[in-house]
Amino acid sequence: MSVHTLFVTLDILGVFVFAISGAAAALQNRLDLFGVVVVAFVTACGGGLIRDLCIGAIPPAGLSNWIYLAAAIAAALTTVCAYGFVERLAYPVLLFDAAGLGLFAITGSHKALQYGHNTELAILLGMITAVGGGVGRDVLLNRVPVILQKEIYASAALVGSSIEVLGEGFGWSTTWLPWVAMLVCFALRIMALKYGWHMRWFAMPHD
């Protein structure tokens, strides 16, 4: 498998699992089928749309390539049809969200590098690709976005994209580098949820 094919595959896989996250969240909020599909698509492609606009990949892949829309719709319909199974998973939205976080942190940073951007921007855009869709989902569902809370979320994506970008800079093999970066991001997010790791919370002083 070529490097390009690998990252396109990971990108589509990221769309699918993030769309499941969005669809599950929409079903928990009792949206209709159209609402479920819309939230699934925004969750799956929102971060990628922002990334592509920033790097000059116009029109964005999420709008110009039918596979992205098809993957999001397929994930949404799968979630609707198999929601009983999805619901039985422990924290289904968080599980699929963590998986999508790792996948998009890697593909987002790699695509930024492919368009000739520097290390710092590639790392930042990898993080934005990973968290942008989740922000869109939370805004549509009238929730405080996860990245604005004390949870380790954007920082996990930042670690994953940093490993990918720095590894590519050092010439590490793309056979294993994306998988390592993705798993580190996923594991960091899951362990933070399991063990209650979080960023410091700043409270306003009492009068």
pLDDT for 137: 92
Token duo for residue 75:
């994930």
pLDDT for 4: 75
pLDDT for 201: 57
- Domain-embedded: residue 200: no
- Domain-embedded: residue 205: no
Instruction: Sort 161 into a burial class: Cβ within 10 Å, 0-12 / 13-18 / 19+.
Output: buried
pLDDT in tens, 150-191: 778 889 999 999 999 999 999 998 889 999 999 999 999 999
pLDDT (average), residues 17-42: 93
3-class SS letters over 81-113: HCHHHHHHCCCHHHHHHHHHHHHHHHHHHHHHH
Domain around 140:
3-195
Sign of CA dihedral 110, 69, 146, 17: negative
- Domain-embedded: residue 112: yes
* CB contact at 8 A, 147 and 134: yes
Query: What's the domain count of the chain?
Result: 1
What angle, 0 to 180 degrees and rounded to 10, lies between the N-to-C axes of helices 119-140 and 3-28? 20
Query: 94: pLDDT confidence band, cut at 50, 70 and 90?
Result: confident
- Domain-embedded: residue 139: yes
- Domain-embedded: residue 151: yes
Lowest mean pLDDT among 117-126, 142-151, 185-194: 142-151
- Domain-embedded: residue 18: yes
The model carries a pTM of 0.85
- Domain-embedded: residue 206: no
- 123/130 Cα distance (integer angstroms): 11
Percent of the chain with pLDDT over 90: 60
Mean pLDDT (the chain, rounded): 88
